Structure 1
Amino acid sequence: MTDVKDWNKAGGEKTEAMLLAPDKPRGIVVYEVCSACHLLEGWGLKDGTFPQLAGQHRSVLVKQLTDIRAKNRDNPTMYPFALDEQIMAVSGYHEGEINPAQLVADVTDYISKLPMNPDNGKGPWNELFPEFAQGKKLYADNCTQCHGENGEGIEDKFYPKIHGQHYNYMLRQFEWIRDGKRRNANPDMVKQIKGFSDKDMQMVINYVSRQKVPAKDLAPSKDYQNPDYD
């Protein structure tokens, strides 16, 4: 794995986008293209092909999108939608009319305010299984400092919210981070989880996938449809 220095150093498009005032109508327009994979509700897919984005901290969305745009996070699926020429095209603006960082600010703010899926993909073991308890201990011993007691993350430190995320997506990302396949991973996390076995990984992600999301952050039902695209 390439050593990622200054993992979250201030500067560049990330900081620029964080400081810009977002525009919701533009965010709606830009996100419609994203919805081809992440769905209009921002819920992704339970099979883990695409993550839930709805309700994620804006800081995390900005960092991950700008990392992809800078090709510091390998995501060929998103390149056709996220790079300058593409993001400008979907916005309806032309070069010189708007800064791409503004579009990043617009779309990430919009996504961060979408209600989350009340029925995310979960791991195989519920509270009655010993694997659930073992996952809970692994989480408490290794993950709470960054991701919080309930998987809520820390917005001002760019630590993602992981409760409510799909089990299969988290499992894949955890494995890639552990095995050095995700170039923009936080080096502290790489060190923290390097000794996890595959079973450890499955148990801790199972536990996280079953943590309750606060009701205020959830859509009213799994049949909810985003009213911005009626």
Structure 2
Amino acid sequence: MTDVKDWNKAGGEKTEAMLLTPDRERGIAVYEVCSACHLLEGWGLKDGTFPQLAGQHRNVLIKQLTDIRAKNRDNPTMYPFALDEQILAVAGYHEGEIKPAQLVADVTTYISKLPMNPDNGKGIWAEGTPEFEQGKKLYADNCTQCHGDNGEGSNEKFYPRIQGQHYAYMLRQFEWIRDGKRRNANPDMVKQIKGFSDMDMKMVINYVSRQKVPAKDLAPSTDYQNPDYD
């Protein structure tokens, strides 16, 4: 099993970005690079190829982006788009004119405020089925302490919001964390889920995928288009 890196050590670009005042217009400009995969709305894809980013906690987004930039999280598809020259260029800056950490602060704040997809990708077992109920129990016994009763997560503690996330994406990440393939995973989670079978994993992620997102955080319909890119 791959060693899990220090999960959340303070300092570096992550802490720097957290302390900077974000600029919305720069965030819009930088996010255009991200939208090639995550879509202009930040909704990703139901097939799990790309996660929904819209509505995710700002600190979680900062940590994951800075981990990818520092190569502490393996993401070869995203890494080229997260390099300094890419995010500087799209924001209209040259090296030395602005700190990349500022652009990280700008884009993550922008993403965190995007309305979420009202129809995220879900697992196959509906509420009331034995598999749904077992997933609910597994979640209550193993996940609520960090991710909250309804998958709301915590910005302060860097726990991702998983309500509204696509089933297929969560399933892949859960498997990688369980099997030690995601190097920046929380070591407490690695220990907590190491005994999960593949079926356990599918049932608990199915349950999470069906947790309701508060209406105030959702786009009005699946036809919604991000007005910042008209």
Kindly state the Cα deviation for residue 3 of structure 1 after the two structures are TM-superposed. 2.8
Whole-Å separation in 2 of the counterparts to 1:106 and 1:133: 40
Whole-Å separation in 2 of the counterparts to 1:86 and 1:37: 15
Runs of 4+ in 1 over 2 A off after TM superposition: 1-6
Whole-Å separation in 1 of the counterparts to 2:206 and 2:5: 31
Match of 1:150, SS state, is coil
Give unmatched runs, 5+ long, in structure 2.
none
Q: Is 2:122 aligned against 1:119?
A: no
User: 1:155 is matched by which residue type in structure 2?
Assistant: N
Q: TM-score, normalised by structure 2?
A: 0.98
User: 2:91 is matched by which residue type in structure 1?
Assistant: S
Give unmatched runs, 5+ long, in structure 1.
none
Bigger mean CA offset, 163-172 vs 81-90: 81-90
User: 1:69 is matched by which residue type in structure 2?
Assistant: R
Question: 1:97 corresponds to which residue?
Answer: 97
Q: Is 2:224 aligned against 1:228?
A: no
Bigger mean CA offset, 188-197 vs 4-13: 4-13
Whole-Å separation in 2 of the counterparts to 1:12 and 1:2: 23
Question: 1:79 corresponds to which residue?
Answer: 79
Whole-Å separation in 2 of the counterparts to 1:158 and 1:208: 18
Kindly state the Cα deviation for residue 2 of structure 1 after the two structures are TM-superposed. 3.8
Bigger mean CA offset, 87-96 vs 71-80: 87-96
Q: Is 2:49 aligned against 1:49?
A: yes
- 1:164-197 C-alpha deviation (Å, 9 max, x unpaired): 0000000000000001110101000000000000
Q: Is 2:172 aligned against 1:169?
A: no
Q: TM-score, normalised by structure 1?
A: 0.98
User: 2:106 is matched by which residue type in structure 1?
Assistant: D
Match of 2:26, SS state, is helix
Question: 1:62 corresponds to which residue?
Answer: 62
Whole-Å separation in 2 of the counterparts to 1:200 and 1:24: 41
Whole-Å separation in 2 of the counterparts to 1:32 and 1:5: 30
Whole-Å separation in 2 of the counterparts to 1:3 and 1:92: 39
- 1:36-86 C-alpha deviation (Å, 9 max, x unpaired): 100000000000000000000000000000000000000011111101122
Whole-Å separation in 1 of the counterparts to 2:154 and 2:30: 26
Q: Is 2:22 aligned against 1:29?
A: no
- 1:95-148 C-alpha deviation (Å, 9 max, x unpaired): 111000000000000000000000000000001310000000000000000000
Question: 1:180 corresponds to which residue?
Answer: 180
Question: 1:108 corresponds to which residue?
Answer: 108
Count of paired positions: 230
Whole-Å separation in 2 of the counterparts to 1:127 and 1:31: 36
Identity in percent:
89
Kindly state the Cα deviation for residue 17 of structure 1 after the two structures are TM-superposed. 0.2
User: 1:76 is matched by which residue type in structure 2?
Assistant: P
- 1:181-214 C-alpha deviation (Å, 9 max, x unpaired): 1010100000000000000000000000000000
User: 2:147 is matched by which residue type in structure 1?
Assistant: H
Kindly state the Cα deviation for residue 216 of structure 1 after the two structures are TM-superposed. 0.6
